[in-house]
């Protein structure tokens, strides 16, 4: 369906610039092409919502990860403002919204009733949210000036390293164990309703589409730090054996 729409759109564009399509082609294609403004946006399921939020959170973690060697080699060259903005985004979108409003209010209370293993996950994940908040407080405090001080360089590098490792494990377990277990409690119709509830919470908190805003923000910070080009992360070929 998606492919078909793109193909039609391409045909329409070709017709407009006169690349050999007849007037008849144009009429048929233009009539067939759906009016985008009338299309209903496809639903984002509740778990898809949670996982794409992890995508934004992971992009913030990758920025932390990239800053670690810079803090050790050239702390004066570290962009304190970009670090602060990343931590602010982590706080509002990651901690205050994703963790507190969705996971702690909706997901964890339910999985706790699904047996001791999931109860254990809920306890550890909650403790990690709390530790993460302490770490974000610390990152915000040390990045509050124009520069990161030399005295903070190594402790901050170590804190970021351990935070990234914790949160990568945390989000991966949520994606593969916790969210699928939570989802089993509901029918598709109920999941649809929960997805709408999540959207309402998002709108109340951010006054607009929180995910899109957060994605734009992380993209901008990536740009400021020179990480916009995804291709730069493709590694060289491995050595020949």
- Binding residues for Fe ion, rule: CB under 5 A, are 103, 125, 174
| Closer residue to Fe ion (CB): 54 or 152 | 54
| Closer residue to Fe ion (CB): 70 or 129 | 129
Closest approach of Fe ion to the CB of residue 104, in Å: 8
**Neighbouring residues of 58: CB distance < 8 A, sequence distance ≥ 6:** 168, 171
Neighbours of 226 (CB within 10 A): 10
| Closer residue to Fe ion (CB): 197 or 228 | 197
| Closer residue to Fe ion (CB): 67 or 178 | 178
Closest approach of Fe ion to the CB of residue 170, in Å: 6
Query: 3-state SS string over 35-89?
Result: CHHHCCCCCCCHHHHHHHHHHHHHHHHHHHHHHHHHHHHCHHHCCHHHHHHHHHH
Closest approach of Fe ion to the CB of residue 210, in Å: 14
Q: Residue 223 is inside which H or E element, if any?
A: helix 210-224
Closest approach of Fe ion to the CB of residue 159, in Å: 19
């Amino acid at each position: 369906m998606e492919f078909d729409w793109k193909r039609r759109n391409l045909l329409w564009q070709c017709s407009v610039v006169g690349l050999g399509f007849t007037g008849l082609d144009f009429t048929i294609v233009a009539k067939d092409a759906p009016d985008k403004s009338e299309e209903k946006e496809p639903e984002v399921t509740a778990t898809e919502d949670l996982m794409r939020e992890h995508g934004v959170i992971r992009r913030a973690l990758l920025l932390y990860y990239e800053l670690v060697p810079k803090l050790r080699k050239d702390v004066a060259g570290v962009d304190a403002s970009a670090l602060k903005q990343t931590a602010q985004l982590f706080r509002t979108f990651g901690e205050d919204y994703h963790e507190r409003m969705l996971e702690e209010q909706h997901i964890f209370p339910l999985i706790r009733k699904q047996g001791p293993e999931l109860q254990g996950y809920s306890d550890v994940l909650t403790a990690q949210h709390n530790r993460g908040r302490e770490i974000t407080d610390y990152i915000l405090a040390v990045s509050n000036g124009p520069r990161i001080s030399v005295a903070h360089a190594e402790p901050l590098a170590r804190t970021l390293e351990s935070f990234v490792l914790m949160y990568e494990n945390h989000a991966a377990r949520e994606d593969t164990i916790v969210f699928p277990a939570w989802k089993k409690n509901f029918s598709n119709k109920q999941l649809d309703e929960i997805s709408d509830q999540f959207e309402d919470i998002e709108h109340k908190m951010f006054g607009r589409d929180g995910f899109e805003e957060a994605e734009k923000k992380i993209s901008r910070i990536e740009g400021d730090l020179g990480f916009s080009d995804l291709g730069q992360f493709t590694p060289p070929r491995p050595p020949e054996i």
